[in-house]
A and B are shown apart, each in its own frame.
Chain A
Amino acid sequence: MTATALPRTRGHARPSPRRPLGIVPTGVLVLGAIYTLFPVSWVVVAATKSKAELFSTSTFAPGTGLLSNLGDLFAYRDGVFWLWLLNTVLYAGGGAVLSTAVSTISGYTLAKYSFPGRGLIFNLLIGGILVPSVVLAIPQYLLFSKAGLADTYWSVLLPQILHPYSIYLARIYSQAAIPGSLLEAGRLDGAGEWRLFRRVALPLLTPGMVTIFLFQFVAIWNNFLLPFIMLGDDHKFPLTVGLYTLLAAGANQPSLYNLIITGTMLSLIPLIALFLTMQRYWRTDLSGGAVKS
């Protein structure tokens, strides 16, 4: 991966002749990493502080209040925080599974079949990328209200299944990963189209599907506007809306800060864990798509 240093670079005044120029990029990246890790490490340390310590001890001195903070958070309104966490897993997990399924079969069809109207359908579906969510969220709420479905799990789950960018990615993956000859051979053997999709296309598309799933999972997990508009009952809130209401209730009461900080810290853990364990998929498949686009 790294190119070998050519001897001629030794002529320049550099600290280490074996690694010329290494200091500048490494230094810049380390500064960037410090900037990004700073608030995360602050919230982790702050969550360990008791109410008194939060305002008195120095910023990065760990405190002694972690357990009581956790206790307070889980006792808050009969443990509604757990419910928010479970709801978020349900919205993000369920929504991402459905979205991945719809995106995969749509992308595959748009990549591997020719049929009248293909260009039009592709442009319609992909054009959705450019539609701001605001134009959708409020009328979606009104329409859900008319159908009697506002303030239900469905109202948050259903609008997030169709995801134009995922369809676009699935189409790129299908073009790159599925040889047309393989499908032709299957057809000559008499396989039906659905069987071809299940047996030939799906196995080849699996790594791409994991990437689409991850993107959707994170997007739904992080979404604030849609559940904020759709939901009124705080037992159906996801974490983002729950944390917001916690802040709105506690911003003027510094005694509630510990609760908000601990809740924020806990809300980071699941996604960061998922993100670190799935590193491989973020990298390889993004580049797999990029090469072919």
Chain B
Amino acid sequence: MGSPKKGARAGRAGAVPYLFLAPAMALFALFMALPIGYTIYLSLRRTKVSGLGLGKGARTEVFAGLANYAAAAGDGELWAGWLRVLAYGALVLVLMLGLALVFALMLDAAHVRLARLTRISIFLPYAVPGVAATLMWGFLYLPSLSPFGEHPFLSTDLVTFSMANVAVWGGTGFNMLVLYTNLRAVPREYYEAARIDGASELGIALRIKIPILVPSIILTTVFSVIATVQVFTEPTTLRPLTNTISSTWSPLMKVYRDAFVTGDLYSAAATSMVIAGISLVLSFGFLRVVKNHAFGEG
């Protein structure tokens, strides 16, 4: 975030930068700041029913304090959802980023063949919508269609793995490309020098390439954590194919159900603030931890 040519032309441009930024700021105010503010407001409100709750004015909105948050904290189904997402997220993060790293290092290896073809193939799922990916895998999991035989892919025991597989399939290529692009930017002389010193390809990968990739790995991890905490598309799309996924399987699915099925906007707002809070804490916490470790030396 350094400023190029600091203060080079401050004052000269006058109002121009603000004019140029006006569209973005207007969009920010309308579609980001306002909705966030509105969510916070709603999360602090509740419906008050007077009398039998019939007739005009029988239902009024009143201030609820932190009651909705307390309810969210004491909601067993929500906690169960967090645990399911934690297991799912751990699987996805480790497998997806692990595979992405391995593929990126293999693409960058000194003597690889078919690099272009395999790189395009592995990146291809990036162009496949999550709904379409889930549909394809969903049908492949169905015992009546599956080429893998009668495995209970969608049973209670395996459904988390099956869902994680869809996310890993969809996300590995993009992360691989980010890491690979970083590797391509490294001057080849680094490696030549190491080779002359007798380092093996594996040694170069472990001692030179992976340390170079650490900042990118951190960044991709943070983005993946944010995406995983909000998992919605895959379980929602798989749901019609199995009865092992409840309508509150992930916290975000519960928010959706509260808001649009049971019509309790206030607890939906509180739960979505909790989801936002958790993903912020996770990403900042992760950044903090790795900063001390990874950047402490450099």
Contacts and interface: CB of A to CB of B under 8 A. Distances in A.
Interface of A: 2-3, 5-6, 19-22, 24-26, 28-30, 32-33, 35-37, 39-40, 42-43, 46, 54-55, 59-60, 102-103, 105-106, 108-115, 118-119, 121-122, 124-125, 128-136, 138-140, 142-143, 158-159, 161-162, 167, 175, 180, 184, 187, 193-194, 197, 218, 221-222, 224-225, 228-229, 239-241, 243-244, 247-248, 251-252, 254, 257, 260-261, 264, 267-268, 271-272, 274-276, 279, 282-283, 286-287, 290-291
B147 A59 contact: yes
Given A115-B10, A130-B280, A240-B233, 12 more contacts: A2-B111, A5-B111, A21-B109, A32-B99, A113-B9, A121-B25, A161-B31, A244-B131, A244-B236, A260-B139, A271-B129, A275-B126
Nearest to A271: B127
A118 B103 CA distance: 39
Given A132-B226, A134-B276, A290-B185, A28 B103 contact: yes
Contacts of A132: 226, 229-230, 272, 275-276, 279
20 contacts: A3-B188, A25-B105, A25-B112, A42-B147, A106-B24, A121-B21, A125-B24, A132-B229, A136-B32, A143-B38, A193-B13, A224-B130, A239-B129, A240-B233, A244-B131, A244-B236, A271-B127, A272-B127, A287-B185, A290-B181
A122 B1 contact: yes
Nearest to A267: B132
A182 B192 CA distance: 38
Give me the 8 closest cross-chain CB pairs, A-B, nearest first: A251-B240, A33-B121, A25-B106, A29-B118, A139-B35, A59-B147, A22-B111, A162-B27
B27 A161 contact: yes
A151 to B, nearest CB: 13
A223 B277 CA distance: 23
Contact of B13 (A43, A115, A243, A254): A115
B275 A135 contact: yes
B115 interface: yes
A36 B255 contact: no
Nearest to A122: B1
Contacts of A106: 20-21, 23-24
A37 B201 contact: no
B18 A115 contact: yes
Contacts of B117: 33
B293 interface: no
B122 A131 contact: no
Interface in B118-165: 118-133, 135-140, 144-145, 147
Nearest to B39: A139
Interface size range on B against A: 35 or more
Contacts of B236: 224, 228, 244
B96 interface: no
A243 B181 CA distance: 34
Given A114-B9, A240-B129, A109 B21 contact: yes
Contacts of A26: 106, 112-114, 118
Nearest to A193: B16
Interface in B8-46: 8-10, 12-13, 16-18, 20-21, 23-25, 27-28, 30-32, 34-36, 38-39, 42
Contacts of A105: 20-21, 23-24
A261 B103 contact: no
B229 A36 contact: no
B207 interface: no
B127 A32 contact: no
